[in-house]
Amino acid sequence: MTVLELARNRRVEWECISSHPRSSPASAWTGTHVIFEIAEREHRTVLDFRHAGWDESNEYFGFCNYHWGVALHKLAQWCESR
């Protein structure tokens, strides 16, 4: 990953620049952008997440989409338990 934008406590955007063998789900990430944005809405902190630039016809799209969901759910549980 390379950092394209970093706004402390607000936004981070990464571009996936590494290459992996086509047999790896991570191969589908090359050239995509991972974006996290934090905002205050109605006295709550909200994390907006995007993984942009996907080829949605890629065989690993569903696999990675599911696992991002799992990871973000665990992050929410951890944050809310504090």
User: What are the chain's domains?
Assistant: 2-80 (3.30.530.20)
pLDDT category at 55 given cuts 50, 70, 90 is confident
| DSSP code, position 53 | S
Helix (H, G, I), strand (E, B) or coil at 72: helix
What is the pTM for the complete model shown? 0.82
Edge-first strand order for the sheet with 33-41 is 2-7, 11-15, 33-41, 44-52
Mean pLDDT of 59-82: 91
Q: Could you give the C-alpha distances from 8 to 12, 38, 41, in angstroms and in order?
A: 8, 10, 18
For 11-35, how does the pLDDT look when each residue is reduced to its tens digit (9 = 90+)? 999 999 987 888 887 888 889 999 9
For 36-49, how does the pLDDT look when each residue is reduced to its tens digit (9 = 90+)? 999 999 998 899 99
